[in-house]
Amino acid sequence: MIVTRRALLAGTAAMLAGCGGPGDRREILRFWAMGREGEVVARLIPEFERLHPGIRVEVQQIPWISAHEKLLTAFAGDATPDIAQVGSSWVSELVALGAVAPLDERLRGSRAIPTSDYFEGPIRANLIDGRIWALPWYADTRLLFYRSDLLREAGFPAPPADWAAWLRAMRAIKARGAPGDHAILLPLNEYEPLLALALQQDEPLLRDGGRYGNFRSAGFTRASNFYLGLFGEGLAPRVTNTQISNVYDEFARGRFAFYISGPWNIGEFKRRLPPERQGDWMTAPLPGPDGPGASIAGGASLAIFARSERKQAAWQLVEYLSRPDVQLRFFELSGDLPARRSVWRAPALARDPYAAAFRAQLERAVPPPAVPEWERIGQQLRIVGERAVAGQLSPAAFRATMDADTDRILARRRAMLDRRAAR
Amino acid sequence: MRRPRLAGWIFAGPALIMLGLFFFVPVLLAFGLSLTNFDLYSLADYGNTEFVGFANYAELVRTPLFWKALGNTLYFVIVGVPLSIALSLGAAMLLNGTAGRLNGLFRTAMFAPVVTTLVAVAVIWRYLLHTRYGFINYVLDSLGVAPVDWLGDPNWSMPAIILFAVWKNFGYNMVILLAGLQTIPNDLYEAARIDGANGWQRFRHVTVPALGPMLLLVSILTMAGYFQLFAEPYVMTQGGPVESTVSVLYFMYDQGFKWWNLGFASAVAFALFLIMIVFTTLQYRFASKRGMA
């Protein structure tokens, strides 16, 4: 093939124009997206750019493990993007910093995004001081993955709906299993199962506007006693996730029948369980103290940064990514569950038997307390909870220690709130 | 008398200014920071920062994770440093003893890990250490040893990190010790042999005393380096499983950049600094008592 110099130059010029060379007058929107979502969203952008010829989106892909640090460092260094995907637990932190812009007025002016179409839990996670600071992009919650065959053999044709039935089912499964088998896996390196049970209670986990821990409340006492009881009775093994060589193999072998996990595991279970086991597992909403219970509202949202000079363009991108058809396409590409109810009517989701439980659970999803310190309190729940499970702390001492640690973590927040009140 | 003094200052000046500006000033500022409660709220508004005296240090002593991190770091130092020096010395003696044609090749091969990028070789080591497909477990399996979950089992994660770090670093000390070995006159060995000393006795009474100052230097440098364990767990395990590979520096990084408690994180840095001074002093005392320094 002979390429003339002129053709080469013309080609290069076209390429430069294509990647936004000097001739490109379009507004550049900097968008940070994390991990897999960052890969997937890049495929939705060309359509957006076609609809908005004046905007070019630069997607910056950031690994999940360093995303949170990166956002804080970017704020400190005055280099925040225009728009970013933010984990639901980071929103309160970014609001405390003043890093993100509120979306209330834009939402009121937008006919494309009716907030009533969104699940309440994810929306509430982004609601701080009466204003909404980020719009849910996809939703996430935890519920039961279970072995339907084992449950049936133990005499339970349907998954349990409340704690009493759940306990009966677990005892029956444990009694039928081989020695060393258990009824449920609650990995000690995850605090989410205990948190989900605690969020089912009426009492909040923090009291006085997030000033103090509320772990000695009747609600947390009930939840933690139920949780610790599962270990005490031998229904759950005292192990971390990493001590189990392979969760999927063990689940396939029936070493445990229940596992509390999130939507990403639908795909993993389909891929990793052997073909002959594929008909033997299902998902179910999390049982509550009396009837179907709540679980954690998680996921990620889209936030527009306060220092952005292209907030209008950023809002257009938020509107585009929130469109039901784009949400559906995003679900198909990533497997992330849509945060809008109307998207769930699409056949791909409505007919998915594994997703149905998530649809029901998302209606009952409750966000963890929206204080910037929550992530640290959650880590403490894991560390102190592990000691309680090991028997190093009595249940009462566990609750008292949680309150003491939480109060210490929140000391600075209390001082800040008092100072603000004094002004 | 005054002239040469001035010339000395002029020669040392640029280096001293650089050192002062980029080392002493930041260290002093960091110490100042460790006496404040600089955190997320300070980032929002610097006016929210308060002087708290030594409260961060008092808090540090009461934090169980700090003690766990210190324990992990000491484990790494106490096992890793002697292992690393022994391996370096062994490799140096092998290279010194044989005057083969392939000597240069071996020397390069053994020094190569030192100059490779840590993150890149960590990826390879993650494959080597993989429970099911890893080469290390493959070798163990052929010896009849059950597979070890290197990076997933809290009891094996630190040995795996030590193995990786020692492999990565031994070449550096090897080169220093090799240079030391080459300065030992051959007459000493010959005299020892005539006196009837066997191989171990020659090593114990000729090589080690002659290498004394070198060994002290190498052990101080290695220990200072190993106390600052961070990159290996950061890329291999992220501190897990169950905090078994959280080092003091990793703890500091989490506090400083994950939670943005910069005041507290600076206190961690100074605590580590003090611990390292204590250990180095002890090492120096020990060495001078035995006439090595």
Q: Do B152 and A243 touch (CB under 8 A)?
A: yes
Q: Which residue has the higher pLDDT, B150 or B97?
A: B150
Q: Which residue does chain A place closest to B40, by CA atoms?
A: A97
CA angle B261, B41, A136 (to 5 degrees): 100
User: What pTM was estimated for this model as a whole?
Assistant: 0.82
Residue A9 resides in a domain:
no
Percent of chain A at pLDDT > 90 equals 76
Interchain CB distance below 8 Å, A416 and B149: no
Asked whether the predicted pLDDT for residue A252 surpasses 60, the reply is: yes
Rounded to 10 deg, the angle between the B135-142 and B118-128 helix axes is 30
| Alpha-carbon torsion angle B71, B75, B77, B78, nearest 10 | 120
A57 and A89 part of one domain: yes
pLDDT tens across B171-205, in order? 999 999 999 998 888 888 889 989 988 888 888 88
| CATH at A48 | 3.40.190.10
Q: Judge if A401 and A265 occupy the same domain.
A: yes
- Give the gyration radius of chain B's Cα atoms: 23
Identify the pLDDT of residue B99: 63
Q: Per the domain annotation, does A357 fall within a domain?
A: no
Give the pLDDT score at A17: 45
Q: Domain span at residue B144? A: 60-289
Same domain, residue pair A245 and A219: yes
Domain that holds residue A326: 24-141+297-351
Residue A321 lies in a domain: yes
**What was the pLDDT predicted at A25?**
81
CATH number at residue B224: 1.10.3720.10
Do A94 and A191 lie in one domain? The reply is no
In a domain, A363, yes or no: no
Residues A262 and A249 reside in one and the same domain: yes
Chain B 128-167, residues with CB within 8 Å of chain A CB atoms: 131, 149, 152-154
**Tens-digit pLDDT profile for residues A120-133:** 999 999 999 899 99
Inter-residue contact B218 to B169 (CB < 8 Å): no
φ/ψ of B157, rounded to 5, equals -65, -40
> Are residues A242 and B238, on separate chains, in Cβ contact within 8 Å?
no
Contacts of A373 (CB under 8 A, 6+ apart): A409, A410, A413
Contact A321, A134 (CB under 8 A): no
pLDDT at A6 over 80: no
Same domain? A125 vs A153: no
In a domain, B3, yes or no: no
Residue type, B90: G
- Bridge partners for A56 per DSSP: A28
**Residue A302 confidence (pLDDT):** 96
- Tell me, yes or no, whether B94 lies in a domain: yes
pLDDT band at B17 (very low <50, low <70, confident <90, very high): very high
**A79 in a structural domain:** yes
Lowest mean pLDDT across A20-29, A172-181, A217-226, A278-287: A20-29
Work out how many domains chain A is built from and give that number. 2
Residue B102 falls within a domain, yes or no? Answer: yes
In a domain, A13, yes or no: no
Residue B253 vs residues B117, B238, B248, B267: alpha-carbon distances, Å:
21, 11, 9, 12
Does residue A213 carry a pLDDT above 90?
yes
A417 touches chain B (CB under 8 A): no
Mean pLDDT along residues A234-254: 82
Q: Looking at the 3D structure of chain B, how many domains does it have?
A: 1
Residue A361 placed within a domain: no
Provide the pLDDT for residue A38. 92
Same domain, A253 and A386: yes
Q: Are A332 and A269 found together in one domain? A: no
Query: Do A75 and B65 count as a contact with CB atoms less than 8 A apart?
Result: no
Query: A184 with A206, same domain?
Result: yes
Q: B interface mutation test: which of A71, A128, A189, A242 has the most B CBs within 10 A?
A: A242
CB A380 within 8 A of CB A209: no
Name every residue whose Cβ is closer than 8 Å to that of residue A87 and which is 6 or more positions away in sequence. A34, A67, A68, A298, A300
Nearest residue to A298 (alpha-carbon basis) of A143, A161, A146, A95: A143
Please state the rounded mean pLDDT for residues B252-279. 92
Which of B43, B152, B259 is opposite residue A76, by nearest beta carbon?
B43
| CA–CA dist B233, A67 (Å, integer) | 18
How far does Cα B111 stand from its chain's mean position? 17
The answer on A167 and A242 residing in a single domain is yes
Which residue type sits at A265? Answer: N
Identify the pLDDT of residue B40: 87
List CB contacts of A288: < 8 A, sequence separation 6 or more: A161, A162, A163, A200, A294
- Residue A63 domain-assigned (yes or no): yes
Query: Per the CB < 8 Å rule, is B41 touching A65?
Result: no
pLDDT tens for each residue of A281-296? 999 999 999 999 999 9
Indicate whether A68 and A136 sit together in one domain. Answer: yes
Average pLDDT value for chain A:
90
